[in-house]
Copies of this chain bind each other. A is one copy, B any other.
């Protein structure tokens, strides 16, 4: 009965139901209004995402999602020639993959609200510290991701949204507006702290609200307890459920 809002992305989406996570916060905001469906795949890139589309968003579905966040790029932007090279997707291909994802979603449902989210900024020092905590002296000497490169991918994501007339969230820019963003918003230079999650939540909630999907104005899926005829509850449910 409830409409579905799908969160489609990589580990930053997969981890969004941890304590303080942006997905869980959306599920709480949309409680009784919409189902927040978690489709996050740690380590995945926009290239891998293409293989999932037909399964996650089958064409001809009678009940496609009303909205989907598409949140890839953090892995695509891993540098060629460094330790996470296998995840690297060239930026032109990243943009083209996002375009194919959007086209598939719109073919699935032309009214689906598709929200493109850029990768967050990268704290290179934080990435190095994280690598050293895992691998000690064997850790890479050069970071496998740079903030500059994440910014290149972010710009392509925002540009594509503009081309296609879709809302976008430029996390890369937004987070860097706050002093100390490196440690405030990022736990290991790449993934989000609770405060970083709060930024994503606020941005996604705002975009959904501005795009005519505000939780506050969507109907409850069953009568609010204040509207129930407690002596004759069957009357309440007969009136409101048929």
Residue numbers of A with Cβ under 8 A of B are 1, 14-15, 17-21, 23-25, 27-28, 31-32, 35, 37-38, 40-44, 47-48, 51-52, 55, 86-87, 194, 222, 224-226, 228, 230, 233-234, 237, 241
Contacts and interface: CB of A to CB of B under 8 A. Distances in A.
Contacts of A23: 27
Lowest 3 CB-CB distances: which A-B pairs, in order? A43-B225, A24-B24, A86-B230
Contact of A31 (B28, B38, B43): B38
21 contacts: A1-B55, A14-B31, A15-B28, A17-B24, A17-B27, A17-B28, A19-B19, A19-B20, A23-B27, A24-B24, A27-B27, A27-B38, A35-B37, A41-B222, A42-B224, A42-B225, A43-B225, A44-B225, A48-B228, A48-B233, A55-B241
Contacts of A87: 230
Given A17-B25, A44-B225, 7 more contacts: A17-B24, A21-B24, A24-B28, A32-B40, A43-B225, A47-B233, A51-B233
